Amino acid sequence: MTTTDYQTMNISIPIEAHNYAQQFAAQQLNKEKKTQVYLNTLVVYAVDNFLKMFDIKTDLEASDSWNPVIRHYHNVADLAIVNVGQLECRFVLPEQDEIELPPEVLEDRIGYVFVRLEDSLQSGKILGFLPIDEPDEMPEEVEIDELEHIEVLFECLQRLESANNAFSADVDPVITRVKERLEIEYLTNIIAQLEWIYRTKKNYEWRAAATNLFATYLGSSKRELADNLMGNLKEGDDENGDIELSDLAEDLMDKLVEIWRGGDRDLD
């Protein structure tokens, strides 16, 4: 199968998926939640099978959707991609054109893949992919015609895996500085957001956009500094911005570009 076939293919949902869905749904207290969990389980299992066809390593048991406590209290349908992060899988009903993203899945995701389930619930069709954006700018509702081709998902996964592999090979000083500055342990989601910046923005916009992203992890006061920096950069003067934060964001972006482009940062 070539990578141009999957936007039109139907993904079968095996009996094993329905067995898990029945088991998980039976643990819920009301009909609405039972239906939600049942369909969430089917779509996660369908995407898991889909990705395995392309030798992408997944881990169902490491997913929030496979955790009985998390799925009881939250509307989650994520799939753990090994050495990449959490991919949210959302079901789309046959006549549905808009999909609501619950608040609990607007963060800590590398992106969103959407599958239209057939009435029989025996198969589904991949509709497209929504990459991660800045955490405070993710939409609560998504229209089908706004989705990226699923090819973008595979490109994204490839870049994220290469970045995570490179950073896990040794203790990188830039990664250490970023973790200390932002006071976080894992950079998976930040790297996913920087991948979006890399893919969608011009290279002269990377520094300001990456700084703005870093600022979202530091609170509103730093966000204001980042906004000022973005304005100053457009005017060619960043003396009043948070230069240390900006330099750090640019250093991490440079590292990622080096990995993704084999060291040629000036390509555009």
Q: What pLDDT shows up at residue 165?
A: 82
CA-to-CA separations, 100 to 36, 112, 157, 257, in angstroms, rounded: 13, 12, 24, 33
pLDDT of the residue at 214 = 87
The angle, 0 to 180 degrees and rounded to 10, between the axes of the packed helices 243-261 and 206-216 is: 120
Average pLDDT, the chain: 84
How far is the C-alpha of 141 from the C-alpha of 72, rounded, in Å? Answer: 22
pLDDT at 199: 87
What does the alpha-carbon distance between residue 14 and residue 116 come to, in Å, rounded to a whole number?
16
Confidence bin at 212 (pLDDT 50/70/90): confident
pLDDT at 166: 80
Please write the tens of the pLDDT for every residue from 192-206. 889 989 988 898 999
With a cut of 50, say whether residue 86 has pLDDT above it.
Answer: yes
d(CA 187, CA 200): 20
Q: Which of 63-67, 221-225, 237-241 has the lowest mean pLDDT?
A: 237-241
Torsion of CA 155, 157, 159, 165, to 10 degrees: -160
